[in-house]
Amino acid sequence: MLFDMVLLAVGFACIARGGDLFVDSSVHIGRVFRIPRFVIGGTLVSLATTMPELVVSATASTLGDSGIALGNAIGSCICNIGLVVGTVALIAPVSVDQRDFANRATWMLAGAILVVALSWNLTISRSMGALLLSLALVYLFWDYQTIRRIRDGSKGSERDAEAGESLTRSVLSFLYGAGLIIVGSRFLVTSGQGLATAMGIPSAIIGFSVVAIGTALPELVTGVAAARKGVPDLSLGNIVGANILNLFLIVGVSGSIQSLSLDRFTQWYAYPWMGVFFLSIVLLVRRTGGVGPKAGMALLSCYLLYILGLIGFPAFGLT
pLDDT exceeds 90 at position 62: no
Nearest alpha carbon to residue 101 among 244, 274, 219: 244
Is the model's pLDDT at 162 over the cut of 50? no
Q: What is the pLDDT of residue 160?
A: 46
Lowest model confidence (mean pLDDT) among 131-135, 173-177, 288-292: 173-177
- Angle, vertex CA 133, rays to CA 221 and CA 77, nearest 5: 30
- Which of 280, 279, 269 shows the shortest CA–CA distance to 71? 269
pLDDT of residue 195: 62
Mean pLDDT on 8-14: 75
Domain parsing of the chain, residue ranges: 38-153+203-315
Predicted confidence (pLDDT) at residue 318 exceeds the cutoff of 70: no
List, in sequence order, every beta strand (DSSP E) within the chain: 94-95, 123-124, 260-261, 290-291
Is residue 155 over pLDDT 60?
Answer: no
User: Residues of the chain with pLDDT > 70: what percent?
Assistant: 84
Task: Give the pLDDT score at 157.
Answer: 47
Predicted pLDDT of residue 43: 74
Q: Give the pTM.
A: 0.82
C-alpha–C-alpha distance, residues 219 and 23, integer Å:
11
Banded pLDDT at 212 (limits 50, 70, 90) = confident
Superfamily of domain 38-153+203-315: NCX, central ion-binding region (1.20.1420.30)
Predicted confidence band of residue 161 (pLDDT cuts 50, 70, 90) = very low
Alpha-carbon torsion angle 161, 162, 163, 164, nearest 10: 50
Q: Which pLDDT value is given to residue 165? A: 55
**In the prediction, which pLDDT does 158 show?**
47
Q: What mean pLDDT value characterizes the chain?
A: 82
Residues with Cβ within 8 Å of 142's Cβ and at least 6 positions away in sequence, in order, are none
Strands 94-95 and 290-291: antiparallel
Distance CA 306, CA 316 (A): 15
pLDDT in tens, 234-270: 888 889 999 999 999 999 999 999 999 988 888 889 9
**pLDDT (average), residues 154-163:** 50
Most confident of 15-19, 94-98, 313-317: 94-98
- pLDDT average, residue stretch 100-114: 94
Judged against a pLDDT cut of 90, whether residue 281 lies above it is answered with yes
Q: Where is pLDDT greater, at 202 or 298?
A: 298
Q: Give percent of the chain with pLDDT exceeding 90.
A: 35
Over residues 167-194, the mean pLDDT reads: 75
List, in order, residues 6 or more apart from 1 with CB less than 8 Å away: 195
